[in-house]
Structure 1
Amino acid sequence: MLERSHLTIIQAVEREGTLTAAADVLHTTQSALSHTMRKLEQQLGTDVWHREGRSLRLTQAGQYLLAVATRVLPQFTQAEERVRQFAQGERGALRIGMECHPCYQWLLKVVSPYLARWPDVDVDVKQKFQFGGIGALFGYEIDLLVTPDPLHKPGLHYEPVFDYEQVLVVGAKHPLAQAAYVKPAQLTNEVLITYPVATDRLDVYTQFLQPAGITPRQHKTIETTDIMLQMVASGRGVAALPRWLAEEYAGKMKVVPVRLGKQGIAKQIHLGVREADLEIDYLKGFIALAREPAAGPRPKPARAPRP
């Protein structure tokens, strides 16, 4: 009945657009693909495609099989690669997914000693996923997810690696630069600069602004931390970042971290992995290294709020 080759064909045709182009990619003939898929449709008792001239449009059944192919084929590839590594005495690659834009500086401090300790393991970092970070873990796109917002699902395990405080970063000459903490209403007339992340994943919105019914005057998104903080230093907006990162930049830019609310916003960075992979030695080694005190950020003590 349904075989891996069928899923490969469906995915290739969807990606390439025609059976002819898919046949070229798969190093076979169009007639061979047509025969294979017609036989499958007969066995399933339903069409996979609507045929419109030379074009093919997936039926509801075809759409379902494409979703299965997208989820399952990477697992086949990963399994084959892992077994090949076992056969050749290798350990392979650790693919890290990032759901934490400002964590790259931290990750670099972990990756360098990790590569020294595990010379036969390669490291790859991915930020964009077809189905988000959790989907990337389940789909075997990545092996480890760095996230400040763990979404607990059966089959996943999260390991907290360090605590941090989310703060507002303002220019050194900004009126809020001398404040012990900022209130939500004080951002009403501000330009808030964030990474390009949905607002329902931004703590400054979900834990600070939205509960107070406040929105900033304008919301801008910038991908790079350096550009974001240059904008802040020049008085063109304010940003919400981890305190440790803000203090790191405060040494070279005219920016100041200010607590968000009197109590502040406490966060943790977690590493998420598939439970089935928890005993892989080089993955355990990365988690252990990430939890070492030397690997985590060492922020300055937060200034106590004024009475």
Structure 2
Amino acid sequence: MPILERIHLAIIREVDRHGSLTAAAERLHLTQSALSHTMRKLEDQLGVAVWRREGRSLRPTQAGEYLLAVANRLVPQLALAEERLQQFANGERGALRIGMECHPCYQWLLRIVSPYLAAWPAVDVDVKQKFQFGGIGALFGYEIDLLVTPDPLYKPGLRFEPVFDYEQVLVVGPRHPLRDADWVQPGQLAAETLITYPVATDRLDIYTQFLMPAGITPRRHKPIETTDIMLQMVASGRGVAALPRWLVEEYADKLDLRAVRLGRSGIAKQIFLGMREADADVDYLHAFIELARGPRARA
């Protein structure tokens, strides 16, 4: 009879999430006494404590931290396996869960999802935008199946496929003095308000590939979460932004925006789709990647 069972992993995961046995018991539809008995029995069988009490809170011991890491890795995989098997039993193909690690890529993704759903009617698509710069862990944790990112982080067990080349450009409004420039130098942005997504500067190309190497910082850095508001701010003369050229061109006529090259040679980028190597032969996943490489995705 195995000592460690799935319920033990679920319990330690829920206690870590919610901070108490009572809340964990509610989430798992157990009584608190049943949950406590289950974990005490496990600790007795293992001969090691899983938690220690600090005031009203439970903190995992070293053994508990290890068990929590195992739970965070295995429980999502088991849940996914059950979901997929149920889909097979119902005659369905499955679901494609896409994580976004790229703020402006949502508009690009919409071009692909519609024809993909038409081509694969038995596959559902879910787009999760909560994985901004946390997508690698989501792939390993089986929370998503594909990761859209401009900055792949190569790890054993993962594969990244380039699907779309683009240029990162400076975006200026209708009355900006740089509007008619062919390209800009870093020093020309020293007096500007730079509007960006709310991302650390060490993950922003405008900083890492353009401003920082020249030792330049803008007069003000203003984070804005949504693309539409960001570009409205630029169009009204409240600052400049750095975005993919294709995205600027989509808004250019409506908001009278202009894309200006960053440096004489520009900043070349790619969008990648990351996946687990074990899933590389899944046909409906592979079909999505091929569609993302096609001309429709660049239109």
Q: Which residue of the partner structure matches residue 137 of structure 1? A: 139
Moved more, 91-100 or 14-23: 14-23
Instruction: Kindly provide the CA deviation profile for residues 149-192 of structure 1, in whole angstroms up to 9, marking residues without a partner as x.
Output: 11111111111111000000011211111111000011101000
- Which aligned runs of 4 or more in structure 1 are off by greater than 6 angstroms? none
Q: Which residue of the partner structure matches residue 109 of structure 2? A: 107
Q: Which residue of the partner structure matches residue 2 of structure 1? A: 4
Structure 1: gaps (5+ residues)? 298-307
Cα distance, 1:52–1:176 mapped onto 2, change above 3 Å: closer
Q: Which residue of the partner structure matches residue 305 of structure 1? A: none
Structure 2: gaps (5+ residues)? none
- Which amino acid letter does the alignment assign opposite residue 198 of structure 2? P
Moved more, 220-229 or 29-38: 29-38
Cα offset, 1:53, TM superposition: 6.6
Distance in structure 2 (CA, Å) of the matches to 1:246 and 1:91: 37
Q: Which of 149, 170, 173 does residue 171 from structure 1 map onto?
A: 173
Contact 1:91–1:120 (CA under 8 A) maintained in structure 2:
yes
Cα offset, 1:275, TM superposition: 0.9
Q: Which residue of the partner structure matches residue 118 of structure 1? A: 120
RMSD over equivalenced CA pairs, Å = 1.6
Cα offset, 1:13, TM superposition: 2.1
Cα distance, 1:108–1:192 mapped onto 2, change above 3 Å: same
SS class of match (1:209): helix
Moved more, 56-65 or 105-114: 56-65
- Which amino acid letter does the alignment assign opposite residue 283 of structure 1? L
Contact 1:161–1:268 (CA under 8 A) maintained in structure 2:
yes
Instruction: Kindly provide the CA deviation profile for residues 56-100 of structure 1, in whole angstroms up to 9, marking residues without a partner as x.
Output: 232232233223222221111111111222222211211101111
Cα offset, 1:205, TM superposition: 0.6
- Which amino acid letter does the alignment assign opposite residue 130 of structure 2? K
SS class of match (1:294): helix
Q: Which residue of the partner structure matches residue 49 of structure 1? A: 51
Cα distance, 1:199–1:257 mapped onto 2, change above 3 Å: same
Instruction: Kindly provide the CA deviation profile for residues 191-219 of structure 1, in whole angstroms up to 9, marking residues without a partner as x.
Output: 00011111111110110011111111111
- Which amino acid letter does the alignment assign opposite residue 272 of structure 1? G
The correspondence of residues 102-251 of structure 1 with structure 2, limited to 5 A, is 102-129=104-131, 132-251=134-253
Matched, 1:288 2:285: no
Contact 2:179–2:258 (CA under 8 A) maintained in structure 1:
yes
Distance in structure 2 (CA, Å) of the matches to 1:260 and 1:53: 55
Contact 2:159–2:274 (CA under 8 A) maintained in structure 1:
yes
Contact 1:170–1:257 (CA under 8 A) maintained in structure 2:
yes
Q: Which of 254, 257, 268 does residue 256 from structure 2 map onto?
A: 254
Cα distance, 1:131–1:235 mapped onto 2, change above 3 Å: closer
Cα distance, 1:293–1:17 mapped onto 2, change above 3 Å: same
Distance in structure 1 (CA, Å) of the matches to 2:108 and 2:42: 50
Instruction: Kindly provide the CA deviation profile for residues 213-242 of structure 1, in whole angstroms up to 9, marking residues without a partner as x.
Output: 111111111111111011111111000000
Cα offset, 1:54, TM superposition: 5.7
Instruction: Kindly provide the CA deviation profile for residues 236-264 of structure 1, in whole angstroms up to 9, marking residues without a partner as x.
Output: 10000001111111111021100000000
Contact 1:169–1:257 (CA under 8 A) maintained in structure 2:
yes
Q: Which residue of the partner structure matches residue 20 of structure 1? A: 22
Contact 2:146–2:273 (CA under 8 A) maintained in structure 1:
yes
Cα offset, 1:130, TM superposition: 9.2
Distance in structure 2 (CA, Å) of the matches to 1:218 and 1:259: 21
